[in-house]
Structure 1
Amino acid sequence: MTSATPDRELLQQLANIPEVALSGFSVREGLSGTGVTVMKGRNYFGSWRAVDRQLVWVPANLTEPGHIVETVDEAVRHTLLLILKSIETTRTKPPRSMAS
């Protein structure tokens, strides 16, 4: 019996959390068939890649720091925190004024 790779396990766990989709995010397999791509609506939000025995987060905004974790549970937690932070940032932004 073979166990799932960390990125496959991460994809499955994130896909099973209804709040991910309810908050406007989605997860899917990476374009190369490995890793986990996180989308915010139709926009790329970031991705996880399995490197050796670790999972590496690469955000869409490369000016933000990446993140390395040792376990799938840590990757799930970090992803959920990033989603919450994104929702909070979106909600606290003042509306743009319309120029006449």
Structure 2
Amino acid sequence: MAEAAPAPVAAPVAAPAKAAAKKPVNPVKLAAAEKRVGELEAEVAELDRQLADPKHMADAGRLAGLGRDREEAARRLEQAEAAWLEMMEG
């Protein structure tokens, strides 16, 4: 009877690398960043509401201005969210 081949031995698994030490988040700065994001979300929502308001449909200039304002508010919101995320990730 033929001998069975020895079972393959798995390569040793390296211990997981320790996570890089995260810098503690300043709670005051975090609260300010969260407040700023909330304010900008509200601003974008208000501009969306105004853009959807039928009374502005007849005023192309007003609509264009609201559209520009919304784009600018959305850009500021994106920056504020990125700053908040960076703060959270350390």
Do the structures match in fold with TM over 0.5? no
Q: Which has the larger radius of gyration?
A: 2
Structure number with higher strand proportion: 1
